[in-house]
Amino acid sequence: MKRLLIIFASAFLLSSCATTSELYYWGNKVDGVSKYEKLTYKNYDRQTPESICDLVELYEDMVSNPGGTRNTIPPGICAEYGFLLLQERTLDSFEKYAKPRQKRIFNTDDYATLFEEKGIEMLRKEVELYPESETFIGPIIKQLTSDN
């Protein structure tokens, strides 16, 4: 019995030492903090045109290159990105303050049309990936698309 207990205890201890991988990609980590955590905090703590441009770049990376063990976009990211793109301040900030590499991401100069279309597309993508979000996002999509 003691031997069995020692085997189970050893197995438990060894299994708890295994490395865990993240379910989703949240941007590269620096000092244990993901880029998502760093940039969203920075933006909500003290929003600047530059922080908005950095967030647009991060969200586009997260949506275009999903990773983690699930290899899909994290819950809420498409909605956050969509809302960000649909804000007038985002368009103004991006047109005036985005770095050339940030502007090259989209391969266009018509950011007004792009941000409006992509914003609604991201909201729809959120509902597609996470159907439970329909309750909250569905009415917003309906309102945005019925005005046009």
Rounded alpha-carbon distances, angstroms, from residue 88 to 15, 16, 93, 96, 108: 50, 48, 9, 13, 18
* Structure confidence at residue 148 (pLDDT): 55
Mean pLDDT of 93-101: 96
What confidence tier does 30 reach under pLDDT thresholds 50, 70, 90? Answer: confident
- Residue-averaged pLDDT of the chain: 89
Nearest C-alpha neighbor of 52 from the set 78, 76, 27, 83: 83
CB contact burial 126-147 (16+ within 10 A = b; e otherwise): bbebbeebeeebeeebeeeeee
Eight-state DSSP code of residue 73 = P
Using one digit for the tens of pLDDT, what is the confidence trace for 41-82?
A: 998 899 999 999 999 999 999 999 999 999 999 999 999 999
Dihedral (C-alpha) 68, 108, 51, 148: value to the nearest 10 degrees?
-90
Alpha helices by DSSP H, listed for the chain, are 2-16, 35-45, 49-64, 77-86, 88-97, 100-104, 111-129, 134-146
Other C-beta atoms lying within 10 Å of the C-beta of residue 32: 6
Mean pLDDT of 78-89: 97
Using one digit for the tens of pLDDT, what is the confidence trace for 49-59?
A: 999 999 999 99
Is residue 116 predicted with pLDDT exceeding 70? yes
- Rounded to 5 degrees, φ, ψ at 85 are -65, -30
